[in-house]
A and B are shown apart, each in its own frame.
Chain A
């Protein structure tokens, strides 16, 4: 991978009302790229969904924990790294909803996978989880 520049490095509390703050930071970053307005909106949605998943599934709605968002920019992509300090989650349990099922829930992962070009958990040595999402220009 080519050299990367850190364009965002922000830590927020794991409270749902902090999602707005994170979304705005992502909006600011993607607005300065060549992505279309629809793609920009989708990128904001995907990062927001990943944060919501941390709040719901890693922190179980505890609102005093920390979410760490780093956005790296390279010549070819934006890389979003989202970390928590929760117990390591069993990522094999994360299954997006089947498309033919009309039911509430399970949509967030689909949004992330539809929008991003690469989605992967980076294995941590001890505590915490890091999700890396890549969107190529």
Chain B
């Protein structure tokens, strides 16, 4: 897994790429929580995530919960088909705010 962080308007955007499994989910968790620690709204782009396991999903859940406790926005964008299937299996696709793209979110779309 690799990641990249970019500022976009009021948001920090974390782009995750590759396979997010037990070997790298602690790093994904750290990156997500570090961004929230900076009191910034957060978007996690999963468009280039080819695989995600329960530990990766747990990192997203924790980020979502921390953002809510800090009154920060948290959303997933561009979720790849593989990642979306896993979120559906976890029945979390109805829990996370999910947008097709960052532009769709910033323009108030879905």
Contact = CB atoms under 8 A, between A and B. Distances in A.
B38 interface: no
A91 to B, nearest CB: 18
Given A49-B54, A52-B55, A103-B61, A111 B23 contact: no
Contacts of B51: 23, 44
B57 interface: yes
Given A23-B51, A102-B65, A111-B90, A42 B85 contact: yes
Given A45-B53, A104-B61, A107-B54, A52 B22 contact: yes
A88 interface: no
A104 B21 contact: no
Interface residues on B, range: 20 to 34
A41 B90 CA distance: 14
Contacts of B91: 99
A52 B52 CA distance: 13
A111 B53 CA distance: 9
B53 A20 contact: no
Contacts of A42: 85, 89
Contact of A114 (B62, B64, B89): B89
Interface of B: 19, 21-23, 51, 53-55, 57-59, 61-62, 64-65, 82, 85-86, 89-92, 95
Given A19-B23, A108-B54, A110-B90, 9 more contacts: A15-B23, A16-B21, A16-B23, A23-B19, A23-B51, A48-B21, A49-B53, A107-B57, A108-B55
